[in-house]
Structure 1
Amino acid sequence: MRLVFAGTPEVALPALNALVESDHEVVAVITRPDAPSGRGRTLHPSPVAARAAELGLETLKPERAKDPALVQRLTELAPDCCPVVAYGALLPQRLLDIPPHGWVNLHFSLLPAWRGAAPVQHAVLAGDQETGACTFRIVKELDAGPVFDAITEPIGPTDTAGDLLGRLAERGAGLLVATMDALAAGTAVATPQPETGESYAAKLTVEDGQLDWQRTAVELDRQVRGCQPAPGAWTTFRGDRFKINSATPVDEDRLAPGELRVTKKAVVVGTGAGALDLGQVQAQGKKPMRAADWARGVTFAADDKLG
């Protein structure tokens, strides 16, 4: 089949690479416009745009998905299907109607659970034991189209959102190719999603990463892992933002919420129930480091606490 791939971040690259290496023909890529980054805020292409350039693929970067120029060019390219991985923009119906087999999204959850922009992060935050990825036909409603196929993936007790997303991106690439194969062979079956069991996963913000030490150690551990690598979990120390990149729940009820116990080998902080043994932290203006290494450079006062 002739395909036009739509995607933007690094997590979309395994799928793009797999489709290029498959029996299908990727004739172009649609991605978000170049965005400013770095200290100089210079414009840089998205990871998908950069990879498309390496592959010599035509790359379309519309400011808006409803731009008439995009509609015209996609009509000219005449794809049989448009596979999508984390493109990052809502698609108007006139675009959805162009390819005969529609637009097929690789979504990193088991729909209808965790529809939306951050399904993996929310699965970790919620303490889910299992998640997965599925391919579905895009319709006007958010992540509500019929599902072609799915895979499951366990969520380990130390998995971060980044760990989990990396595994799902690799496994999901094969799932997306298999769905394209089935569409080409005429064997694909799209099953409507259940009418119950839906949940929604909004994009996480910096505020979502702020730790409330009144919560339990188990909940805070999930928050740290669900916000890693972005937007990152944080608290405050002496009024400055203090990032916590990893931590482990421990059975300790003698510390008040936010209270610190510092030893030569560990920094433990109290919560509403249990405590967290801090792993990697990052103080304001410092590089990430082990919590014990950070503590060696601090002279603690009796009333020092986090948050």
Structure 2
Amino acid sequence: MRLNLIFFGTPSYSVNVLESLIKSRHKVKGIVTKKPSLVGRKKILKPSPVEIFARENNIPLYTGSTKDLEFYDFFNKLKPEIGVVAFFGEIIPTRVIDLFKYKMVNLHPSLLPKYRGIAPVPRTILNGEDIFGVTIHEIVKELDAGDIYDQVSFKISEKKSSGELLNFLSKEGSHLLIKVLDSIENGCFKKNTQNSLEATYAELLKLEEVIFTFNEKAINIERKVLAANPDPIARVKTNYGELLVYKAFATDGLGEPSKIVGIEKDSLKVATKEGVVLLEEVQFAGRRRIKGKELLNGLRLKIGDFL
């Protein structure tokens, strides 16, 4: 026996989950993803990573909203038993959930009921926490509020960006997802109701939240940079223009805020209000991304100058 399912997802993290599902005993009958989006200055239509995966693997595909009538035609042709969601990016209507015999399950990258919402990983980083997790839960009308099938937590002390952590959690979480699907198929699953009184919400990270100055603590700058990668990317105003910062790490050290105090491997060491920040990967608007230490030659700076 196996479950016939429709998968709902959009970014590369969804593909990590899809790849695991394809290798499992369960059958991916079809895939639902968002329509191609306009990208870049030339506004070129770009398909989602999930759409590309579906076409490369000849899996029936629907691109669009679950609110459109065309979705129901797609569903009726496939006759799936369960819907599986991972980073889809759209709230599923109740009438769609009710189409499935076993309803729908979602892979959510937090330990629910904590950090419900669209940006749990960036918010966890921004809050300085090192416990991350994945929850497999039933989808209901209220956002991320359904009964929990299972959870797994990870203590991650190594400094990683939101993108790196989501890549890790999607891969590790897919194993838990398959375990849950197996239990649903066998009728031996157990669900636990969430305590809504303990719920917190993770809103989308706004650009203004991750603009920083060197008059902040180095650890706060580090958190903003890691939380904002891959989007919206943290940035700082310098004497030479706005600098986008993709990688930066806090370390000990002294100096006046924004003063260049040294080089460490590929990073430029800049003093802050408290501690030193290692600028490892940066970019001025319209220019290529470079290692932090390249700023010295590019801007004709030396240690002791102010950035």
Q: Tell me the TM-score normalized by structure 1.
A: 0.91
> Which amino acid counterpart does residue 102 of structure 1 have in structure 2?
K
Q: Is 2:37 aligned against 1:28?
A: no
Q: How many residues align?
A: 303
In structure 2, which of residues 43, 55, 58 is the aligned counterpart of residue 56 of structure 1?
58
TM alignment of 1:202-221, pairs within 5 A? 202-221=203-222
Aligned to 2:15: 13
Alignment check: 8 A CA contact 2:119 2:203 kept: yes
Q: CA 1:286–1:42 in 2, change beyond 3 Å: closer, same or farther? A: closer
For residue 249 of structure 1, what is the amino acid of its counterpart? A
User: Which residue of structure 2 lines up, in the alignment, with residue 268 of structure 1?
Assistant: 269
Deviates more, 1:230-239 or 1:23-32: 230-239
1:140-151 counterparts in 2 under 5 A?
Answer: 140-151=141-152
SS in 1 for 2:244: strand
Q: 3-state DSSP class of the match of 1:246? A: strand
Q: Aligned ranges for residues 82-161 of structure 1 at < 5 Å?
A: 82-161=83-162
CA contact (8 A) 1:131 1:152 kept: yes
| Aligned mates of 1:152, 1:101 — CA distance in 2 | 26
Over 3 Å counting, the alpha-carbon distance change for 1:203 and 1:136 in structure 2 is: same
Deviation larger for 49-58 or 232-241 = 232-241
Give me the CA root mean square deviation.
2.1
Matching residue of 2:45: 43
% identity of equivalent residues = 29
**Structure 2: 5+ residue stretches without partners:** none
Contact 2:261–2:303 under 8 Å retained in 1? no
* TM-score computed with the length of structure 2 as normaliser: 0.91
Contact kept in structure 2, 1:75 and 1:98, CA below 8 Å: no
Which stretch of structure 1 is more off in the superposition, 78-87 or 67-76? 67-76
CA contact (8 A) 2:295 2:301 kept: no
Q: Given that residues 3 and 80 in structure 1 are in contact (C-alpha distance below 8 angstroms), is that contact kept between their aligned partners in structure 2?
A: yes
Secondary structure of the structure 1 residue equivalent to 2:191: coil
Give deviations 1:244-296, integer Å, cap 9, x for gaps: 2222222234313xx22254656333333222122222123322222222112
Report the alpha carbon displacement of residue 219 of structure 1 after superposing the two structures with TM. 1.4
Structure 1, gaps ≥5 residues long:
none
Q: CA deviation at 1:52?
A: 0.6
* Matches for 1:156-305 after TM superposition, within 5 Å: 156-238=157-239, 240-256=241-257, 259-263=258-262, 267-300=268-301, 305=306
Q: 2:68 matched to which residue of 1?
A: 67
Deviation, structure 1 residue 206: 2.8
Q: Say if 2:10 and 2:34, in contact at 8 Å, map to a contact too.
A: yes
